[in-house]
């Protein structure tokens, strides 16, 4: 950096003494030795933001998809029961047994609510809540906006399974 300063100081002083300021402008136009470094320095922040955004939101969407799949499959498993207790047990056990098969989901951060819908007594709803605040994406630099740390997905199935 200091060398660039000295070079500019010498060139500017020479141009001012000789009265050839237009030649100084022409010299800057022809100088291409640091163009790649300057372009790289200008593009790098945008490139890193895009790459971190892909990693952060790709990981988050994988977790959202996994939680949705757990809720949907648990709702399908609950069809076997007749009463609310008989329907809740298979739904809870499905989520507990299969949560470990998703790479980015920590089973200890899952909460399951399997119950009859409050708005329709003929619909059984399984809601899976996942606290994602412990994921690695929340420890990355914050120049990319972070997604919400709680994922809530639900699946509903009518009584009788149709």
Q: What is the DSSP string of 49-114?
A: HHHHHHHHHHHHHHHHHHHHHHHHHHHHHGGG-SSHHHHHHHHHHHHHHHGGGSTT--GGGEEEEE
Distance CA 1, CA 112 (A): 59
What number of CA atoms fall less than 13 Å from residue 41's CA on the CB side? 5
The pTM of the whole model exceeds 0.75: no
- Segments forming the whole domain that contains residue 148: 37-158
Between strands 110-116 and 123-131, the pairing is antiparallel
Residue 27 belongs to some domain of the structure: no
- Residue 63 and residue 132 in contact, taking contact as beta carbons nearer than 8 Å: yes
Burial (CB count <10 Å: 0-12, 13-18, 19+), residue 75: buried
What number of CA atoms fall less than 13 Å from residue 131's CA on the CB side? 6
Residue 66 belongs to some domain of the structure: yes
Over residues 64-111, the pLDDT tens digits come to: 999 999 999 998 888 877 777 888 888 888 998 988 898 889 999 999
Query: How many structural domains is the chain composed of?
Result: 1
Residue 8 belongs to some domain of the structure: no
Residue 2 belongs to some domain of the structure: no
What lies within 8 Å, CB to CB, of 35 at 6+ separation is: none
Residue 31 belongs to some domain of the structure: no
- Token pair 């030649």 is at which residue? 23
Residue 19 belongs to some domain of the structure: no
Q: What pLDDT does residue 38 have?
A: 80
Residue 14 belongs to some domain of the structure: no
Residue 30 belongs to some domain of the structure: no
Q: What pLDDT does residue 1 have?
A: 52
Q: Which residue has the higher pLDDT, 9 or 48?
A: 48
């Amino acid at each position: 950096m200091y060398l660039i300063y000295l070079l500019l100081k010498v060139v500017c002083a020479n141009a001012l003494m000789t009265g050839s300021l237009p030649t100084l402008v022409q010299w800057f136009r022809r100088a291409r030795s640091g163009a790649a470094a300057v372009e790289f320095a200008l593009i790098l922040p945008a490139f890193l933001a895009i790459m971190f955004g892909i990693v952060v939101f790709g990981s988050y969407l994988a977790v959202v998809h996994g939680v949705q799949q757990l809720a949907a499959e648990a709702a399908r498993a609950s069809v076997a029961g007749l009463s609310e207790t008989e329907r809740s047990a298979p739904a809870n056990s499905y989520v507990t047994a299969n949560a470990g098969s998703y790479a980015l989901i920590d089973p200890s951060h899952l909460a399951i609510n399997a119950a009859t819908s409050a708005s329709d007594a003929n619909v059984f709803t399984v809601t899976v809540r996942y606290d994602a605040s412990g994921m690695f994406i929340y420890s990355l630099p914050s120049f990319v906006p972070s997604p919400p740390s709680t994922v809530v997905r639900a699946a509903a199935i009518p009584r009788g399974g149709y």
